[in-house]
């Protein structure tokens, strides 16, 4: 049996979801399954190609729904789980008992583990650390903004590696997490060797955000296109501007220009907007507390215009 397992790439929760699903699949479905992994990213245009579903069984975890008849398993927890109403209708008509969605779950990892335990009788106590940290990281249940920025815990160091390493290395991490405890994988020399230079770059990124970020009326905004930084730790803006409620940033990488929108879980003022709903209007999505919009790599000026519009909306009605 060959399982094709598609997961949300460059994302701790996506990687953890793949590892938990792999353990469940081998324990409850096919012990000797050959699992082939592939990352999925939110990019402009079509997200799926039928050729992706090349396994005897095919699964997607922590990513949008596909109505492909070859998709046999699906788990997601994003509000923006469906590309269009027809896809949602297709999901709701499914009778396989193998496709699941819960937008209230703070992490897809926790959601998969819970469904596997409650619906299929799967239990593996050694997954406790992985489930816990996926919940903390994806749900932003940190002690402070400093915790995810200073990266002292091994799980957060692994998070940094996952967000920056190439897919072949991440596939190795998933395979290890499907067999070993999180702490053992995160402290391994191969992960730490990747983390050390990333920490130097991360420190430089913190300083770049500190230089570029401008705060006004509840929103901090910055543009890292000219700096050549295609991504950043999403808690940096709250680390350098703890007074903010929201952050809006523009970055560009080799595959997309991205508008990242977030809310500060440590804000002195409550969040008043659903960020996923805002991003959906521009073809993006996410959760109520964090989201993004992806455009083509050459659409920088359009991205900047969208960012300005989102900033204006978030600032509307702001009161000290």
Q: What is the pLDDT of residue 319?
A: 76
* pLDDT tens digits, 285-296: 998 999 999 999
Compute the average pLDDT of residues 139-162.
96
Q: What is the pLDDT of residue 88?
A: 97
d(CA 273, CA 110): 25
Q: What is the pLDDT of residue 226?
A: 93
CB 185 within 8 A of CB 158: yes
Measured from the Cβ of residue 146, the count of other Cβ atoms closer than 10 Å reads 15
For the chain, the C-alpha Rg in angstroms (whole number) is 19
Cα distances from 301 to residues 193, 209, 260, 265, in angstroms, run 37, 20, 15, 29
Q: What is the pLDDT of residue 46?
A: 66
Q: What is the pLDDT of residue 42?
A: 78
- 21: pLDDT strictly greater than 90: yes
Q: pTM of the full predicted structure?
A: 0.84
What totals of helices (H) and strands (E) does the chain contain, helices first?
12, 11
Specify the residue for token string 């788990």: 75
Compute the average pLDDT of residues 152-181.
96
* pLDDT tens digits, 75-129: 999 998 999 999 999 999 999 999 999 999 999 999 999 999 999 999 999 999 9
Q: What is the pLDDT of residue 151?
A: 97
- Six-digit token pair at 44? 């402009």
CB 117 within 8 A of CB 20: no
* pLDDT tens digits, 203-255: 999 999 999 999 999 999 999 999 988 889 999 999 999 999 999 999 999 88
Q: What is the pLDDT of residue 45?
A: 64
50: CB partners within 8 A, 6+ apart: 68, 70
Using CB atoms within 10 Å of the CB of residue 118, give its burial: 0 to 12 exposed, 13 to 18 middle, 19+ buried: exposed
Split at pLDDT 50, 70, 90, the class of 320 is low
d(CA 214, CA 227): 16
Sheet containing 257-263, strands listed edge to edge, beginning at the edge strand earlier in sequence = 214-216, 219-223, 246-252, 257-263, 290-295, 285-286
* Residue count of the chain: 320
Among 172, 185, 197, 159, which residue's Cα sits nearest to residue 11?
159
Cα distances from 141 to residues 163, 177, 222, 277, in angstroms, run 19, 22, 24, 22
* pLDDT tens digits, 301-314: 999 999 999 999 99
d(CA 59, CA 99): 9
- Six-digit token pair at 245? 């409620």
* pLDDT tens digits, 22-63: 999 999 999 999 999 999 987 766 678 899 999 999 999 999
Q: What is the pLDDT of residue 33?
A: 97
d(CA 107, CA 12): 10
What domains can you pick out in the chain, each with its CATH number? 2-191 (3.90.1640), 213-315 (3.10.310.30)
CB burial readout 218-240, b (16+ within 10 A) else e:
bbbbbbbbebebbebbbbbbbbb
CB 137 within 8 A of CB 13: yes
């Amino acid at each position: 049996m060959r399982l094709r397992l598609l997961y949300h790439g460059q994302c701790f929760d996506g990687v953890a979801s793949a590892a938990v699903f792999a353990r469940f699949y081998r324990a409850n479905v096919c012990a000797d399954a050959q699992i082939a992994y592939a990352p999925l990213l939110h990019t402009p245009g079509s997200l799926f190609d039928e050729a992706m579903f090349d396994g005897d069984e095919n699964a997607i975890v922590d990513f949008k729904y596909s109505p492909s008849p070859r998709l046999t398993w699906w788990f997601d927890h994003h509000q923006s789980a469906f590309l269009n109403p027809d896809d949602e209708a297709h999901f709701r008509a499914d009778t396989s008992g193998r496709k699941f969605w819960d937008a209230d779950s703070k992490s897809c990892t926790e959601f998969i583990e819970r469904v596997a335990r409650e619906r299929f009788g799967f239990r593996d106590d050694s997954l406790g650390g992985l489930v816990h940290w996926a919940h903390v990281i994806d749900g932003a249940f940190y002690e402070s903004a400093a915790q995810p920025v200073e990266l002292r815990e091994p799980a957060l160091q692994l998070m940094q590696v996952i967000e920056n390493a190439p897919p072949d290395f991440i596939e190795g991490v998933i395979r290890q997490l499907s067999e070993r405890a999180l702490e053992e994988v995160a402290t391994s020399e191969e992960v730490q060797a990747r983390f050390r230079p990333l920490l130097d770059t991360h420190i430089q990124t913190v300083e770049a955000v500190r230089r570029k970020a401008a705060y006004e009326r509840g929103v901090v905004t910055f543009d890292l296109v000219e700096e050549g930084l295609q991504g950043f730790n999403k808690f940096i803006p709250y680390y350098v501007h703890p007074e903010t409620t929201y952050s809006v940033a523009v970055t560009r990488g080799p595959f997309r220009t991205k508008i990242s929108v977030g809310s500060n879980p440590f804000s002195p003022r409550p969040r008043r907007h659903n960020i996923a709903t805002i991003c959906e209007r521009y073809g993006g999505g996410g959760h109520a507390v964090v989201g993004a919009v992806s455009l083509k790599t050459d659409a920088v000026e359009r991205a900047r215009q969208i960012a300005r519009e989102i900033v204006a909306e978030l600032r509307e009605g702001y009161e000290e």
